[in-house]
Chains A and B, each alone.
Chain A
Amino acid sequence: MVEMRGISKRFPGVLANDRVDLDVASGSIHALLGENGAGKSTLMHILSGLYRPDSGTMKVEDRAVSFASPLHAIRAGVGMVHQHFMLVETQTVAENVVLGDRRLGFRMDPSAIRDTVADLGRESGLEIDPDALIWQLSVGERQRVEIVKMLHRGARLLILDEPTAVLTPPEADTLFDRMRGMARAGRTLLFISHKLNEVMELAETVTVMRQGRVVDTVPKAQVSHRELVRMMVGSPVLFDVTVPPVQQGRKLLSLRSLRVENDRGQTAVDNLSLELRQREILGVAGVAGNGQRELAEAITGLRKLQAGTIELDGFDVTGSNQRRMIDLGISWVPQDRQHTGTAPNLSIQENFDLKRYRSARRGPFLDRAGQSSRAAALLAKYRVAASGRLQPVRLLSGGNLQKIILARELSTELRVLVAESPTRGLDVGAIQTVHELLMEQRSRGVAILLLSEDLQEVLSLSDRVAVIHNGRIMGILPRARAEADTIGMLMAGVVPEDMAT
């Protein structure tokens, strides 16, 4: 059905797809598996005509194609259902299905369209009331409308971008049934996922991507959970980090039975308990989207707890806001450097002072002099490559941006550090620096919660490793017993037999 050869796509600073080959058999259900940022979406956007590749060739149904727009792709039979639906809320299902369909003339015959849409729904098993208004529909139903829309335009290959991300488990089960039905009816389905379970359940063939490249394409029947995990996260070559032996101190942070919801109101952290001591790095390994972000936000006061308590050094700090958590000495290196961790148009100096400005003892006024002398010192200490302390941080590279954030978060009187994927996207040298900084803080008595998708990193740095899956802690292993295979299984939500006690 599809044959992609040597596809490369470069975005400023990132090689998103690096000479990717992909073959998809007609009538199959094919999964594209990989972590966030592995290049899956980019590849699918190329296949569906949204992006043009920098190089490489594509064939669809044995014909060489080059899509200038999604319109061209759909003409060749390739349609994509995005994570974010593109529907007009105030119009009916039928109207949305035919919206933008160039084959329709200026005049429309509403009843004929309604019948067509209803028929199409029945055939594909995606029954949907053509007269319903979009805003009245649930998320699952809207997704069905999107699929029917693509079928109506003649999509023979249907690409679904993380189709279950927005669905409840029962909705997801229904969707899987329908997808199997469509495949039996001869359509080809290609879906993006980073959830092992659904890949194992649904796909016939799995292509695993990592860092813009295809690791391998394998029939599902010939591969195990464990092997897929290994392909996804790569071979755990441990970093060269010296972890000096230290005596761990008293309990600094206790999380008890936390329950936190995500932005959509679904439970993201479920009855989670953890304890963190002085001079300890507790690594939390897990595939992205399993509640790490919500957990970090809950600890740092940004997200409301639905249940549970947080204790800091023996004091109950449950329900404190971000400002108080900062004052109590909880530092946070957020995963999203540009959108959470820094103010892009403000200067380096100001970003250093993003939190600290409040403590200047000058009444309502800023301590500009202190700000600039501190900035100068931090720039030197952290060896940030910048034209000066007044440079806007948006002009910095990812590594330097991370140094700014670390410099800020580590230059305060901190007791607990929450570090989310602190080395993501950094080059080797920068990674080394970050790791050394974390170790230095550990020696100074800081308790560090390291949330990372990067198994290598977690294994290299952590005193203990906890594995998170679906917002729950699947298990906690001391450094000595933390092996990549076991952790990979836990990350996939599978408890290995040797642990199931």
Chain B
Amino acid sequence: MTGGTVSGTVPSGRPRLRLEARDQPGLLTHLAVSLLLLVAALFLAGIVMTVAGGNPLDVYRSMFGAGFGSKWGLNDTLVKMVPLTLASLGVALAFRMKMWNIGAEGQLLMGALAASGVALFAVPPDMPQWLALALLAAAGAAGGAVWGIVPGWLRAQFGVNEIISTLMLNYVALSIVQFFVYGPWGERGFGLTPMFERNTWLPRLTEFADQWSALRGLTLHLGILAVPVAIVCLAILLNRTKFGFEIAMVGDNPDAARYAGVRLRRTMIIVMALSGALAGLAGMNEVSGVVHRLLEHISPGYGYTAIIVAWLGRFNPLAVAVVAFLFGGLIVGADEIQSAGISSLLQGVILFVMVSGNLLIRYRIRLRVPETLA
């Protein structure tokens, strides 16, 4: 990091806590600190739950059971993980060049909208399923990409802050989706479109129960395959390609990138397009793999959770996927708790603790006792 140091010389007589920069925090430090922070977060949330009249250990046990404890729980967690991972990877990609894409939610919605449009109007019922799904995926990615290009272009051309523009576009996207599901595509004003034809559904595991009976009842859809594919592609893009190198340069020092002949605007726009496309793909997965129609509430805030997930995964594709899996389980588990609100409480506390504890990774705390006292 190139930021200023937190430590300052304080020539006073009192002993003080002092932050000391670590040179290069290693993987183990990362893991250890993250684990410590998670425990601290669970502890804090546990205090709140105890005050609210619950037993946190019970709650955690049943949450864990619900999210990871059975094949059903794992199934539900993996279903959640798909949109979370894809959207988070998009956010992480943009952040690799220090762009805050707060707009994953809107990009996801636009992806869902575009995929739904194709499913409802462009795919005849007799089209082969693979072709229909490919069309839906392409539409979803394109829909999200457009919603990424707009703020990317505004930033590149006019220096419009992408945090604000992407955030605003989320609301625009929601309004557009509302317009379509209540209006021209809507079924009777209830905020949903008709069901898609079967050939636009991503196959679920339970459909293969004839061959493998263990799969019966599992709703996990083949969109899960997009997760490893996206991770590998993104890792290759970032680490092995010329374009990925340009992203790294721009992210680290835009002046140096310009100096090295990187076309900054072009890079920004393409990265935002790819970032949006990943979120759009998440939207396609939701309509095609989970609900099979477009509805107003297609996303329970995946795009926003994705920011947290990407951040906690430190913008590393594989780590992001791991965090997305854990978060999926957290959401699934917390949804099983009555009364509601535990999920958001936990997410909030975890985020708060992780963000404030982040500096433990870059700094170590030392108690500094002035020599006069020591």
Contacts and interface: CB of A to CB of B under 8 A. Distances in A.
Interface string A292-310: 0000000010100000000
Interface in B7-27: 9, 11, 23-24
A322 B256 contact: no
B243 interface: yes
Given A341-B256, A342-B256, A394-B2, A357 B261 contact: no
A255 interface: no
Contacts of A327: 261
Interface stretch (A142-150, A159-167, A273-281, A361-369): A361-369
B11 A342 contact: no
Contacts of A195: none
Contacts of B243: 364
Given A322-B261, A326-B261, A345 B242 contact: no
Given A343-B249, A343-B253, A344-B252, A302 B259 contact: yes
A422 interface: no
Interface string B246-281: 001100110111111111000000000000000000
Contacts of A358: 242, 261
A405 to B, nearest CB: 10
B242 A343 contact: no
B245 interface: yes
B71 interface: no
A219 B263 CA distance: 53
Contacts of B260: 322, 326, 354-355
A346 B240 contact: no
Interface residues of A, number: 35
Contact of A344 (B23, B253, B261): B253
Given A343-B253, A366-B245, A302 B2 contact: no
A368 B240 contact: yes
A305 to B, nearest CB: 17
Contacts of A346: 248-249, 252
Nearest to B237: A364
B249 A354 contact: yes
A218 interface: no
B253 A365 contact: no
A164 B97 CA distance: 37
Nearest to A337: B256
Interface string A330-357: 0010101011111111100010011101
A484 B212 CA distance: 90
Nearest to A297: B259
A330 to B, nearest CB: 11
B241 interface: yes
B373 interface: no
A338 B23 CA distance: 18
B261 to A, nearest CB: 4
A56 to B, nearest CB: 14
Size class of the B contact interface (CB-based, 8 Å): 20 to 34
Contacts of A322: 258-261
B242 A323 contact: no
Interface in A118-173: none
Contacts of A360: 242
Q: Which of B23, B243, B245, B263 has the most CB of A within 10 A?
A: B245
A357 B245 contact: yes
Contact of A341 (B9, B244, B259, B262): B259
Q: Which of A300, A332, A354 has the most CB of B within 10 A?
A: A354
Contacts of B244: 366
Nearest to B252: A343
A52 interface: yes
Contacts of B262: 323
Nearest to B259: A340
Nearest to A339: B255
Nearest to A395: B23
Contact of A343 (B1, B11, B23, B256): B256
Contacts of B242: 357-358, 360, 364-366
Given A360-B242, A366-B245, A323 B263 contact: yes
Contacts of B258: 302, 322
Contacts of A395: 23
B1 A345 contact: yes
B248 A340 contact: no
A366 B240 contact: yes
Q: Which of A52, A302, A353, A357 has the most CB of B within 10 A?
A: A357
Contact of B2 (A332, A344, A350, A368): A344
A28 B118 CA distance: 79
B259 A334 contact: yes
A161 to B, nearest CB: 20
Interface in B206-264: 240-245, 248-249, 252-253, 255-263
A323 B245 contact: no
A355 B256 CA distance: 10
B38 to A, nearest CB: 27
Interface in B335-355: none
A364 B241 contact: yes
A385 B242 CA distance: 28
Nearest to B11: A52
Contacts of B9: 52
Given A355-B260, A366-B242, A345 B252 contact: yes
Q: Which of B244, B248, B252, B259 has the most CB of A within 10 A?
A: B259
A179 to B, nearest CB: 33
A345 to B, nearest CB: 5
Interface string A369-403: 00000000000000000000000101100000000
A339 B256 contact: yes
Contacts of B253: 339, 342-344
B155 to A, nearest CB: 19
Given A343-B249, A345-B2, A354 B256 contact: yes
Nearest to B257: A343
B261 A323 contact: yes
A302 B258 CA distance: 8
Contact of B240 (A338, A340, A365, A392): A365
Contacts of A300: 259
B261 A340 contact: no
Contacts of B1: 345
B10 to A, nearest CB: 10
Contacts of A339: 253, 255-256
Contacts of A325: 261
A167 B11 CA distance: 39
Q: Which of A323, A343, A392 has the most CB of B within 10 A?
A: A343
Contacts of B24: 392
Nearest to A327: B261
A296 to B, nearest CB: 11
15 contacts: A52-B11, A323-B261, A339-B255, A343-B248, A343-B249, A343-B252, A343-B256, A345-B2, A346-B248, A346-B252, A358-B242, A364-B243, A365-B241, A366-B240, A395-B23
Given A339-B255, A342-B256, A343-B253, 13 more contacts: A322-B258, A323-B261, A323-B263, A340-B255, A344-B252, A345-B1, A346-B249, A353-B245, A355-B260, A355-B261, A357-B245, A364-B243, A366-B240
Which 10 pairs across A and B sit closest by C-beta, in order of nearness? Answer: A323-B261, A343-B252, A354-B260, A343-B253, A343-B256, A322-B261, A326-B261, A345-B252, A355-B260, A364-B241
